[in-house]
Chain A
């Protein structure tokens, strides 16, 4: 299992291309204002204490490094405003392990044995139909999307209806793909999955060079977390845990879309 390493060369070209400060729009992991010096050298370093962008809204206001005026974003954009009490609460439960269990049964993979095509068809039907309330309240539609991770040898499918917030989704994905990341980062001294404590797991993944992105209905790749959850589940077609080095350029597009949606 090899991963595609980002060549250092690309970093240098972006910073020297015609005076454009592309580094300002370069996707960063961690809170705006936090430094991530390792990124300039190689793709393997870790940023401790940061959060995958888009999940942690507890930013401390606008940082000059982001050069927001260049991107045409004003101070009011929700992305960079101080965290609301709800967001603070969400940030504090970031370590929650299990996805929120709705009033539906906890789903076992592949049970009951119903094909995805049928499940997805029924999901949309129940949303649109004028069926009487007793059926409409059944919460358990399914919305399977594929999840891939750069460098991982397998894809997964998750049912977005299983989650109520970005935190839930993030935790579930962390567990799903943790084993792969761990086997990649043998140097971190983690050999046995069982020995891994939860905080260590979070650190590992936050420190890794991955961001969570999704392909929306228009075929564009966006960062996860930029839009309200409901909007996200309605437009998400596929998820990809992308190497952050490849995610450069997603940020501006996401902002554009966000603007046009508001």
Chain B
């Protein structure tokens, strides 16, 4: 008996689809047939837009009329490191305005690297009656006034997370705008705020919200207020302290230790600005239950770090400064067998001489001792092919590997050779590697390895590497799953780019700055590929005021169904069919 798709009523299909949550799967479902496309789009509740310019608000709204959750990303990743000039774009307002009209039942908005105005926040506050989650990650453009609007109006707010956003902190008063009747807060992250919030209001808010699980304070919250806050929320799972220093008084310490001991569900700790080492033992009571520890702002020495970390046997994620040194990492490797993610940040990134005893050895130790290690971000000053080889063989389960050797173009310090073979070993052995950041002295050969072995690679970051276009060509032609490629200061030019133009439509975006791509090539690319936006950034004036062969400062290419964007600032030009007309 022949069974067909339409032997099921729509409602049944809808119900079945409701169990499919991943975007990829949803996308696959929608491609089965027209009726499935229709059913799917009406019951899609959550959408992730990795590049806000790849699509437009009207297109989104037309296809998905009943969304409850939207995630948008704006600026390219290199904006984090000041490579994208101010005013480039990523404006949230047009999206928020459009969604305010189309989705009265919207519950969640998550934005990353976007420019959000107070006006946008006010629109959110007034338009969505059931608004629950606001996450602004690395955003900017708003002030505490906008936050006040959210606090005052969003009766059902569960999550307010401002992680690493640049907020103009006008006053700490906004926190008091949460009405006394408001009790639904589950997660609050204000760690990026500069000024003091109204501490009394904070304490009252924390103690009246029984479901509060995540509380990340800002530096301005003094340590002696922490015990009260903790006592008001013993159910906390994640805590970010404020400044972790105070006049050394025995009562402050015992108060703090007692308060920590009362938090039986605490799994994650962060904050720790301005740490006074003698206060660290106050957290010892919770160490054995911690799975996540962010000490990357704690400027304490290795012995104190070691004491703390060696007690955290369940630790899965550790972010720490290089004060931990090789010795500390060795202890970590011995104590924390469940470690999945390690990030080691530099305490003195611009100093000429190493200030701590942290070398490639630390990372090797951890790769040896921690069988579940799969995500690494490591800043150091020396590396060898041998070490990388060892790490690769130890950890074939590595999925994210970002190594930053501080001095650009540093060779293998033992052999003075390029680090091609070392990184080659990483891509060869770590077959599930999805993200890779390179550094050190590298020739075209490393890109040949990457193109050959990096079949699952989705994101690659390259700086000061390679010899010629061949390098870029290897990557574009070999990495089947490449989505994001960001390159700076490499001698890559026109040939590889134009030869692999079609590849760019299969990727989210390509960033190239301070490379050798000519203006003429950008024009050709723009004209050849109508479904790509080829944007040239040049702060010294219109690119056509210079010869066609002169290299462009910055190039950002991304696929889009929305055509060239209309909100570009004066230093960005789109190359397309009309590019000749547009530049004038």
Binding site for B on A (CB under 8 A): 1, 103-105, 107-118, 121-122, 125-126, 128-132, 134-135, 138-140, 142, 144, 146, 148, 153-157, 179, 183, 193
Contact = CB atoms under 8 A, between A and B. Distances in A.
Closest 4 CB pairs of A and B: A153-B570, A155-B86, A140-B350, A110-B81
Contacts of A110: 78, 81-83, 488
B81 A138 contact: no
B471 interface: no
A129 B299 contact: yes
Given A109-B81, A111-B463, A154-B539, 8 more contacts: A105-B350, A105-B351, A105-B352, A110-B82, A121-B273, A125-B274, A144-B82, A153-B87
A10 B121 CA distance: 37
A146 to B, nearest CB: 7
B348 A138 contact: yes
A125 B348 CA distance: 12
Given A104-B350, A128-B274, A154 B82 contact: no
Contacts, number: 111
Contact of B164 (A109, A115, A126): A115
A115 B377 CA distance: 14
A144 B274 CA distance: 20
Interface in B122-142: 138
Contact of A112 (B85, B273, B404): B404
Contacts of B571: 153-154
Contacts of A111: 81, 408, 463
A131 B461 CA distance: 34
Interface in B257-274: 273-274
Contacts of B437: 113
Interface of B: 78, 80-83, 85-87, 138, 164, 166, 192, 219, 273-274, 276, 296-297, 299, 301, 345-352, 355, 379, 404, 406-408, 437, 461, 463, 488, 539-541, 569-571
B349 A140 contact: yes
A113 B86 contact: no
Nearest to B323: A135
Contacts of A131: 299, 301
Contact of A125 (B297, B379, B463, B569): B297
7 contacts: A114-B345, A114-B346, A115-B81, A129-B299, A131-B301, A146-B86, A154-B570
Nearest to B219: A121
B346 A116 contact: no
Contact of A179 (B192, B355, B540): B540
Contacts of B83: 109-110
Q: Which secondary structure dominates chain B's binding surface?
A: loop
A84 B177 CA distance: 54
B299 A113 contact: no
Contacts of B570: 1, 153-154
A154 B488 contact: no
A138 B67 CA distance: 51
Max chain A CB contacts within 10 Å: which of B83, B164, B348, B461?
A: B348
B296 A118 contact: yes
A146 B86 CA distance: 9
A114 B406 CA distance: 11
Nearest to B82: A110
A183 B541 CA distance: 8
Contacts of A183: 541
A212 B268 CA distance: 46
A118 B349 CA distance: 11
A94 B351 CA distance: 28
A107 B349 CA distance: 10
B350 A107 contact: yes
A135 B138 CA distance: 29
Contacts of A1: 570
B87 A155 contact: yes
B233 to A, nearest CB: 25
Contact of B87 (A103, A129, A154): A154
A139 B355 CA distance: 12
Contact of A117 (B192, B274, B379, B488): B192
B86 A154 contact: yes
Contact of B274 (A107, A115, A129, A157): A129
Nearest to B405: A112
A105 B408 CA distance: 12
B348 A140 contact: yes
Contacts of B351: 103-105, 138-140
A217 to B, nearest CB: 10
B274 A113 contact: no
Nearest to B321: A122
B437 to A, nearest CB: 8
Contacts of B296: 118
A138 B346 CA distance: 12
A112 B297 contact: no
Given A1-B570, A154-B86, A154-B569, A135 B345 contact: no
With a 10 A CB-CB cut-off, give which of A1, A116, A154 has the most chain B CB atoms: A154
Contacts of A109: 81-83
Nearest to A135: B355
